Amino acid sequence: MVFPEPKHEKYFDDLYVLKKTYDTSDLFCFWKAVKDGTKDISYVTNDSFTVDEYELIIASDGIKISSFGDEGKFRAVTSLRQLLFDCRDKICFAEIHDAPQFKKRAYMLDISNKRVPLVSTLKDFIDKLAELKYNELQLYMDSFCFKYEAYPFVTEDVDCLTAEDIKEIDSYCEERFIELVPNQNGFGHMFQWLKRPEFAHLAVGDHSIGTLNVLMPESLEFMENIYESLLPHFKSGYVNIGLDEATGLGKYQLEKVCEEKGRDTVFMEWLNKLNDICKTKYNKKVMFWDDMIVDYAGSFDKIPKDATVMSWSYELIQSQMWAERVMPYEEKGLRFYMCCCNALWDTFTGRSDVMSFNLRAAGEIGRKHGAEGYMLTDWGCKSHPTFLPFGYIACALAGQYSWNPGIKQTGGYPKNEYVYAAREYADKYMFKVKIANLISRLSDYYMYEPERPFGVTCSFESVYYPMETKKFEPWFDMTNFGDTTPFYFNNVINHIEKVISDIRKVNMDSYTKREIILNAEMVILGARLMLHRDDPDDIPFIRKTIDLIDYIAEEYEELWLRRNFKSGVEGFVNVLLRKKNQLNEMISKQK
């Protein structure tokens, strides 16, 4: 069987005997070995097929692949590799006719928020995307993760990606039929830039709002310099210019002009200015997030003609309302993507039910309303402490929904068969061992917590807020838990410890196992800190938590350096050190 599940597939009992043995351990190597045909495999061109469409027939006379061109051939070979993966000399007869639901199947990786992956890490992940038939990778940037030539001083002491790195990654993607798209924010989320004294004057209010003052000519010049430094190194004809969560729009320096013109008009003017730069200077079409325009359908006519609206919706309630959000785009004939999430940020291990519901909604709603693309977002917040393997299951599941959303959801039955198939795929091709179910159990810990706040978990926020905090604005108020705090958070600890015990028994790559266990230990740390807030007098228990912090900090730094540039590791380590100091202060007060 093939994953993502093809649109049409049929298998037979008869077996074809292969004339040679194939090494299927690496997709790209397999592709290079068979792309020109072999004694077993032949190719036929079908001009009526779409770019990714293919037909794969296995019969008595061999393996025949039909496609429009090399991209369709590559998708067929990707499916064939799975059929051959456990095969030595025989393969069952089959008929597969397949084509993707969405023309663009994208993954967005946040390389800001301290964590900048090494080139080797990105290449390994690109291979995983290719195996799941993704054809687009966006690298999200809103801070100092790239050596901007126009502003070399911002990365003088920062290890990060260079222009040569981007070109190398771009070529690597291209060989695997993946388009590498820059995703450079240019309105909101500019905190890191605006807090520097050289750019502080460009901020709306102050840097803590993170919004660029779009009324200043210097702001446009600033973005031109950013684009000049970045965009020429990407072959793609697209750039995602962000523009999301510009919370300063309508405030401070922008208040009066927004009252006079309207917030939507000010936004659209900035969008068009950036579009003109990207189009005229770099021949790139823009993409942008839709949250700042969704309530202004009357302004949709001001959206640049070739722009793509990136409709994002991540939480359960948002997902339920998503159809209402994209229907006006369909009515206006706008190009748009459905942008879902893996729900990893602010959790340490993820939120499995939020993730699976969100991914399914994106596929079904996008299909119904004519979305051009489907993009899974992998956001990092608060120093990005969650390691990459926690995103593998979502990556596989989104691969399914972006290629083939399957039958329409009916009644109350979730598409558990896709969830289970994604876990099985992750075990076989990504982890190389059965562990996905255990990882999913780690991602369920928040169900034991007393509240399920929007977008975060209690145990995660516990690590970041001071120990005297009991009201976690705006998320939750632990004073509402009453005397149940020990019950809930001891259950979280017991659940995580049981899963960790099971994971330790799994024979797998030692580094990946350590990453998984370490993120689980972070959950335990957060739960213990909630218990200390409830009972600050248990000094022996607090001392054990300090020992746990020391272990996490040391292990985190070592594992971080295996996948990421060194710069940035201090982000979460400093969070841990602050927490250790707060616990020591609690002990001192008891003496």
Q: Tens digits of per-residue pLDDT, 519-530? A: 999 999 999 999
Residues 291 and 393 in one domain: yes
Q: Respond yes or no on whether the N-terminal peptide bond of residue 414 is cis (omega within 30° of 0).
A: no
Residues 83 and 147 in one domain: no
Domain that holds residue 197: 104-431
DSSP letter (8 states) at residue 328: H
Residues 461 and 336 in one domain: no
Neighbours of 113 (CB within 10 A): 22
CB 374 within 8 A of CB 366: yes
Asked, for residue 438, whether it belongs to a domain, the answer is no
Look at residue 407 in the predicted model and tell me its pLDDT: 87
Residues 404 and 520 in one domain: no
Distances (CA, A) of 268 to 76, 184, 243, 285, 326: 42, 18, 10, 16, 18
Look at residue 319 in the predicted model and tell me its pLDDT: 84
Look at residue 485 in the predicted model and tell me its pLDDT: 97
Neighbours of 185 (CB within 10 A): 26
Asked, for residue 3, whether it belongs to a domain, the answer is no
As for how many domains the chain has, the answer is 3
Look at residue 410 in the predicted model and tell me its pLDDT: 73
Asked, for residue 439, whether it belongs to a domain, the answer is no
Query: Any idea what the CATH number is for the domain that residue 43 is in?
Result: 3.30.379.10
Residues 380 and 248 in one domain: yes
Q: pTM of the predicted model, to two decimals? A: 0.97
Among candidate residues 98, 127, 157, the one where a domain is terminated: 98
Look at residue 412 in the predicted model and tell me its pLDDT: 65
Residues 70 and 163 in one domain: no
Look at residue 413 in the predicted model and tell me its pLDDT: 66
Give the integer Cα–Cα distance in Å for 93 and 417.
24
Residues 351 and 466 in one domain: no
Among candidate residues 36, 65, 98, the one where a domain is terminated: 98
Nearest to 345 by CA among 485, 443, 489: 443
Residues 302 and 423 in one domain: yes
DSSP letter (8 states) at residue 210: -
Nearest to 303 by CA among 328, 332, 272, 326: 272
Among candidate residues 431, 460, 486, the one where a domain is terminated: 431
- What six digits make up the tokens of 109? 């990786």
Q: Which residues of the chain have pLDDT under 70?
A: 411-414, 591
Look at residue 170 in the predicted model and tell me its pLDDT: 98
Asked, for residue 407, whether it belongs to a domain, the answer is yes
Asked, for residue 360, whether it belongs to a domain, the answer is yes
Asked, for residue 234, whether it belongs to a domain, the answer is yes
- What six digits make up the tokens of 390? 């926690």
Residues 320 and 302 in one domain: yes
Average pLDDT, the chain: 96
Asked, for residue 2, whether it belongs to a domain, the answer is no
Asked, for residue 148, whether it belongs to a domain, the answer is yes
Q: Respond yes or no on whether the N-terminal peptide bond of residue 182 is cis (omega within 30° of 0).
A: no
Residues 91 and 213 in one domain: no
Residues 215 and 348 in one domain: yes
Look at residue 316 in the predicted model and tell me its pLDDT: 85
Query: Any idea what the CATH number is for the domain that residue 303 is in?
Result: 3.20.20.80
Residues 245 and 393 in one domain: yes
Look at residue 409 in the predicted model and tell me its pLDDT: 75
